[in-house]
Amino acid sequence: MTKDDFSEVKELLSQPKKVVIIPHKNPDGDAMGSSLGLYKYLKNNGHSPVVLAPTPYPKFLHWLPNNDTVEIFNEEDEAKTNLINQADVIFFMDFNTLERIEEIKPFVDKSDAIKIMIDHHQQPDSFPDYTYSDTTICATSEMLYHFLENINEVDKIDAEIATCIYTGILTDTGSFRYASTTSTTHRIAADLIDRGAVNHEIHNNIFDGNTMARMKLMGIALNNLVVLKNYNSAYITMTRKELRKNKFQKGDTEGFVNMALSIEGVNVAAIFIEDLEGDFVKISLRSTGKFSVNQMSRDNFNGGGHINAAGGRVDLPITEVVDMFIKAVKLNKKEIINSNG
C-alpha cells in the first residue's frame, strides 16, 4: 500500500461501516491476534465489525479478548453468509490467497465490499482492492501495528488491542526467537506493554495450557523423531492411529516441529501428520538461516509460507511423503549444510 492508499483507507474508515474480518482457516495465534486486534480497534471507533473464522481454532487461543464475539463460518447458516453479503468492507488477515478460506471463497467472490489484505506471506494474490503485504515482517499482528501507524491511529491502541497484537507477535516469532524478530519488533512489544498488554500473563495463557493428551503426543513425537545427520535435517511422523489413541485435539501438535529444529546441527526440520478425516498428510517445515522451506514446500508438498516456516499437504501415504522429504534434503544437501554460513 502506498501513502495515498493508506489515506484512502483512513477516509473509508472515517464513516461507520459493516466490516467482516477473515483470518485463514485453522487460524493460529497471529491470525486470531491480528483479527481480534483489528476488531477491537474498529469497534472502538464506531464500526460494526465481526471476526468470521473459516474453521474453529485451538483452545489455547480462546482466552483472547472478545473471543466470544467470533463467528465460525457455515455455508448453511444464512446469518453467517449474510455477514459477507452485507459487508461494506472485508479484511483478510494473515493469508495471501483465497484458497486458504476455501469455504468462504464463493461468497467473497460475489461480494462487492471493499477488500483489504494485511499479510506477510510470499506472493499475495491480486484480488483485494488494497494489499498491505510485507514478507520481511515477522507477524501480521506487527503489520496491524504498522497499519495503525500509517493511518495515524497508534494512540487508539487500548489494552485489549495491545494484548491481541502482542499475542500474534509472540506466537509467530516463536517467543521472539526467529530471525524475523527485529529491534522494531521489540520496540513495538515494549510499546504494547506500555499500552496495557500484560506480557507474562500472555505467555502463561499461550504456553501453560498443556493437557495430558498433548504431553503424551509429544512423547510419541520425540520417540518417532529421526535425525538425518549427513543432511543436517530431522523429521517427525505422527500416524492417525497414534493421534486417535491419545485423544488428539486440534492444536495439540502445535510447535512439535520446533523440537526437531532445536537439535544441535539440525538446519531443516519437518513434521508429517496423517489427517484424521481426509486421506492426506499435513506437513510443517522449519529451517534456520538462508535455506528456504517455502521453496521446498512449493516444489514438493503443494504448499508454501515463509523462508523459515512453511506448510503443505500431500495425498499420498505417509511413508512416501517421508521419502519425498529425504530426496529433497539430499538434493539440497549443500544449501542446507551451508544455510547458516
* Residues at the site binding Mn ion, with contacts judged by CB under 5 A: 30, 94, 140, 172
Residue 107 cell numbers, joined: 461468497
What ranges make up the beta strands (E) of the chain? Answer: 18-23, 48-53, 71-72, 89-93, 114-119, 130-133, 226-228, 233-238, 268-274, 281-287, 304-305, 309-314
- Of 146, 129, 111, the C-alpha closest to 34 is 146
Q: Which is nearer to Mn ion, 96 or 205 (CB)?
A: 96
- Nearest approach in angstroms of CB 246 to Mn ion is 28
- Nearest approach in angstroms of CB 230 to Mn ion is 33
- Nearest approach in angstroms of CB 337 to Mn ion is 28
- 8 A C-beta contact, residue 163 and residue 202: yes
Q: Which is nearer to Mn ion, 197 or 243 (CB)?
A: 197
Q: Tell me the HSE value of 200 on the side-chain side, using a 13 A CA sphere.
A: 0
* Cβ partners under 8 Å of residue 263, min gap 6: 227, 234, 269
Taking each helix axis as running N to C, give the angle between helix 159-172 and helix 199-207, from 0 to 180 degrees, rounded to the nearest 10: 50
Q: Which is nearer to Mn ion, 81 or 141 (CB)?
A: 141
Q: Which is nearer to Mn ion, 96 or 140 (CB)?
A: 140
Q: Which is nearer to Mn ion, 23 or 65 (CB)?
A: 23
Angle at the Cα of 162 from the Cα atoms of 160 and 165, rounded to 5 degrees: 110
Q: Which is nearer to Mn ion, 80 or 286 (CB)?
A: 286
- Of 109, 84, 190, the C-alpha closest to 142 is 190
- Nearest approach in angstroms of CB 30 to Mn ion is 3
- What are phi and psi for residue 125, nearest 5 degrees? -65, 165
- What are phi and psi for residue 293, nearest 5 degrees? -80, -15
Q: Which is nearer to Mn ion, 160 or 172 (CB)?
A: 172
- Nearest approach in angstroms of CB 154 to Mn ion is 20
- Nearest approach in angstroms of CB 142 to Mn ion is 9
- Nearest approach in angstroms of CB 288 to Mn ion is 18
Closest residue to Mn ion, Cβ-based?
30
